[in-house]
Structure 1
Amino acid sequence: MNIALLLTFLDVMETGNFKRTAERMNIMQSTVSARIRQLEETLEARLFERGRGGAEPTPAGRRFEGHCRAFLTLWGHARRDLHASASTRKRRLHISCQYSLVRAYLIDWIDGLRSDEELDLHVEINFSSQIQRDILSGETDIGIMFAPQLTPDIQIAGLGASEFIMVSTDHDHLAQVDVDRYVKVAYTSAFERALDDVLPELAFPSMVIGSDDLAIELLKRYGGTLYLPRFAFPSAQDKIPRLRLVDDAPIVPQPVFSAVHMRRRRDPLVVWALKLLRELIEHR
């Protein structure tokens, strides 16, 4: 069985739209159509009804979803088991973290995990949608992200929240902020909505970007005002000495979540690793 076909099928089940799946998987829409058609031919069953409103799963498609998820999980565990058997180490853990959370938690968490000298640790940095696909397929044990999607096979748990603060090279007070010099950093769609709710007057700036690293570089070159994670502020100030906090601007919290496949949620290694991470976050 072609794993790419199964992953594409599950993504279409989530999005209900071939075009949206193509965007999320970074492939052509024609490739999505070809994969679904190939899967239907293999199964000898129609999985979706296509229409202007999107792709609606057929009864066969809905029945196949559970089998598909189970197959991907078993496949991922089989691959991991084969790799583990070739290793001299006793335990393996694969974790994946969203880009914007790396500086906040990942390095210190790795320090704690490395206290287990027999642990074979694999770490990746990725986007939340890809992290969840890797958890579903069994490639990743634990994912850390801002905005998980709820699915029946993945256990989502809150870990706390990161605070985002307004910083500026120009101003000390919110009333002075000029929308023409404001850059919206859209870390996630949920964060962007929360930002628009508290600051509707800044909802439509001339520039929107999705990376705090790029945002800091833009501030260094051009100056201006934007939101950064609180943990990123000291290092940003080192690069931009004139950068300061806008004292009376609202603080925007962004919840942080862990994601684990339901089959792995009671695994002692996973439980221990998440306990370390929670303790780290609680003591920040």
Structure 2
Amino acid sequence: MDVELAKTFLEIMQSGTFAKAAERLHVTQTTVTARVQTLEQQLNCTLFIRNRLGARLTPEGERFARYARELISVWQAAQHACQHPDESLLTPLALGAEHSLWNPVMVEWLAALQAAERFQLSSHVATTDVLYEDIRQQRLNAALVHSARYYPDLQIEQVAEEKLIHVASTQQATPDLYIDWGEEFDQQFDRCLPFSRQTAMYYSHGPLALHVMLRQGGNGYFRSRVVQPHLETGALRIIERSPEFHYPIYLVSRPERQPEDFDEVKQSLHRVIEQTEQWLI
């Protein structure tokens, strides 16, 4: 398939009209229309619905969008490999991580792999659902997550044991802050009920809640490695007799179609976790 057809499709999708797409592509609107017609004939479906407001995707167009992006990505990678033959000898490796694990674990892991000068690296920070889907669809080789979901085609390996502990500001211990650490934490919390979820201030992002608590006061559950420096300086204190919750870190991968040296990739991760002393978020 002509790559220009995929580029034209994506430009229409992003701009919303055939006219704007033609302007951005520096071609006539007639050319854009002809390209779409050719693409629709090749796919045997209608991709856009056109009206006075512009062009919107049909259900078939929405399904094709992901493949169009992948087609462009593969084409660009092929161009790069031909123009930089030395880099084409590197092993492609795509890794992902949840938002709470990118710093320092993902940062240090990528740095160690890059230093090995053997991998063509790409990285992706996303939600747990997206990471699992990307691994199952083979868009990622592996990902770091906090939630273990057991699928027959995936391999789950616990690589670290983290704890969520109840801490409070030494300046002001209120209000209660509830941080969404995932479905497993929700279940553990509801069994113990250290404080009411309904009346607490809700945060979907732990680092944000921690920064607010350090400035304005409050109490909540945070990762033990992250709050340890603040406990040592006296900015925070542990709330006695509050339950602690396990918060393990898992490496999720799909065993088949991994690079030959994937075991070395995993060993590198284990070394990073062992050597990392201060977790920033």
In the alignment, is residue 147 of structure 1 matched against residue 147 of structure 2?
Answer: yes
Q: How large is the RMSD of aligned CA atoms in angstroms?
A: 3.8
Equivalent residue, structure 1, for 2:192: 198
Equivalent residue for 2:263, pick from 240, 261, 271: 271
2:210 partner amino acid: I
Aligned residues between the structures? 215
Identity of aligned residues (%): 16
Deviation at 1:134, TM superposition (A): 1.5
The unaligned stretches of length 5 or more in structure 1 are 3-30, 40-70
1:137-185 CA-to-partner distances (Å, cap 9, x unmatched) read 222111110114332322222223211121111489xxxx7xx621111
Cα deviations by residue, 1:207-254 (Å, 9 ceiling, x for unpaired): 22221121013213431101111221146569x963223244332111
Q: Per the alignment, do residues 78 and 157 of structure 1 end up closer, same or farther by CA in structure 2, a change over 3 Å counting?
A: farther
Cα gap change, 1:246 to 1:237, in 2 (>3 Å): same
Q: 1:84, 1:92 within 8 Å by CA — same for their partners in 2?
A: no
SS at match of 2:116: coil
Structure 2, unpaired ranges of 5+: 1-5, 7-55, 277-281
- 1:255 alignment partner in structure 2: 248
Instruction: Output the CA distance in 1 between the equivalents of 2:231 and 2:207.
Output: 13
Report if aligned partners of 1:136, 1:261 keep a CA contact under 8 Å in 2: yes
CA contact (8 A) 2:165 2:244 kept: yes
TM-score, length of structure 1 as denominator length: 0.62
Tell me the TM-score normalized by structure 2.
0.62
Amino acid corresponding to residue 182 of structure 1 in structure 2: D
3-state SS of the aligned residue for 1:264? coil
Secondary structure of 2:248 counterpart:
strand
Match of 2:213 among 199, 215, 219: 219
1:183 to 177, 200, 207: 177
**Does the 8 Å contact 1:186/1:192 carry over to 2?**
yes
Evaluate the alpha carbon distance shift between residue 81 and residue 152 of structure 1 in structure 2; reply closer, same or farther with a 3 A threshold: farther
Larger Rg: 2
